[in-house]
Amino acid sequence: MNTKFKTDVFEGLSKSLKTLSSKYFYDEIGDKLFVKIMSLPEYYLTRAEYEIFDTKSEDIIEKLKLNTLDTIDIIELGAGDGKKTKAFLKVLLAENYKFRYVPIDISQHALNALGASLKTEFSDLEIEIKQGEYFGVLEDIKTNKAQKVIMFLGSNLGNLDDEAAQDFLVKLSNALRVGDKIILGLDLMKPKEIVLPAYNDSQGVTKAFNLNLLHRINRELHADFDISNFGHAPEYDEKTGIARSFLVSKKEQKVCFNGDHTCFTFLKDEKIQTETSRKYNDAILQSFLQHTNLVQTSKISDSNNYFNSYILER
């Protein structure tokens, strides 16, 4: 069960630039911390994207140019808490579109919670929960002839390094049929005075979120990280638009797994990279779409121009 986690951690800590994958942030505690992050004053991303869905869902729907003859599959990659999606589905229902909502997530727990809250809020909504990896599920429903709208929100694409993001878009485009659409939510490049505090909030929630990864490794992989010996250090390069978070070793130290079975040494100030959060602009997205069958047909921005909902079409 933990073997993939363990190999990934050992591999990452063996590199000359130590790395841990941000996908391991989201255990039970990590999920709760991320919910807190979403309402932090400094974390503008969620508010900006919610504003788009709250005030401009009509506009998004119009720009999707949906074929209303058939039932549409609205497929969301990553279930989330559904706040933005609910604002969107509400308008689709009000405009009498015939659709099914299909949230895909790796976490059955998150899906159950979302499913239950949707059932109470929208009794007429047709919902089909799919537990699994995005592409596994997309492959399974590829034969389904319905027009698809894929929702991939929250700037989650930004967690992938550039090459991986391009591969992801190629795979996504290959899972779609001509005429299918994507709503892709991306955080935009902006001054570091705005980006950095979003990853280094004054209450220390993001720091706790980052350090939780070490707690999780201690708990699940029987390591002996002394958490107080590590600091939280985000960086943002305005020129490239790439934000990264690091854990920094406050002193020279050794961390061992399973007693003394496997140990890793850390120099004073040595960093572990834990997360990439790329910020986009139109040109970067355009260049990433070059190797896909996708075209950008519109974009909708929030009032601060912090965040874009891009509409793509296969």
> Residue with CB nearest ligand AVJ?
277
Give the CA angle between residues 217, 33, 36 to the nearest 5°.
170
199, 264, 288, 310: which one binds ligand AVJ (CB under 6 A): 199
Residue 277 interacting with ligand AVJ (CB under 6 A): yes
The rounded distance, in Å, linking the Cα atoms of 214 and 20 is 10
The rounded distance, in Å, linking the Cα atoms of 286 and 60 is 19
* Closest C-alpha among 188, 192, 154, 195 to residue 282: 188
Residue 309 interacting with ligand AVJ (CB under 6 A): no
How many residues in the shown chain lie near ligand AVJ by CB under 6 A?
A: 12
Please report how close the Cβ of residue 159 comes to ligand AVJ at its closest, in angstroms. 4
Compare residues 154 and 241 and give the one whose CB is closer to ligand AVJ: 154
Compare residues 66 and 243 and give the one whose CB is closer to ligand AVJ: 243
Task: Convert residues 81-120 into a mask of x (bound to ligand AVJ by CB under 6 A) and - (unbound).
Answer: ----------------------------------------
140 Cβ contact partners less than 8 Å away, ≥ 6 residues apart: 130, 132
Please report how close the Cβ of residue 41 comes to ligand AVJ at its closest, in angstroms. 13
What does the DSSP 8-state code read for residue 305? S
CA-to-CA dists, residue 182 to 67, 110, 213, 296, angstroms: 14, 22, 32, 9
Task: Convert residues 200-219 into a mask of x (bound to ligand AVJ by CB under 6 A) and - (unbound).
Answer: ------x--x----------
Give the CA angle between residues 58, 63, 68 to the nearest 5°.
80
Task: Convert residues 121-160 into a mask of x (bound to ligand AVJ by CB under 6 A) and - (unbound).
Answer: ---------------------------------xxx-xx-
Residue 45 interacting with ligand AVJ (CB under 6 A): yes
**What per-residue string of b and e applies to 82-105 under the rule 16 or more CB within 10 Å gives b?**
bebbbbbbbbbeeeebebebbbbb
- Strand (E) positions, 88-229? 99-105, 126-127, 130-131, 148-152, 181-187
Please report how close the Cβ of residue 303 comes to ligand AVJ at its closest, in angstroms. 20
- Residues from 159 through 198 that contact ligand AVJ (CB under 6 A): 159
Sites of contact with ligand AVJ (CB under 6 A): 37, 45, 154-156, 158-159, 199, 206, 209, 275, 277
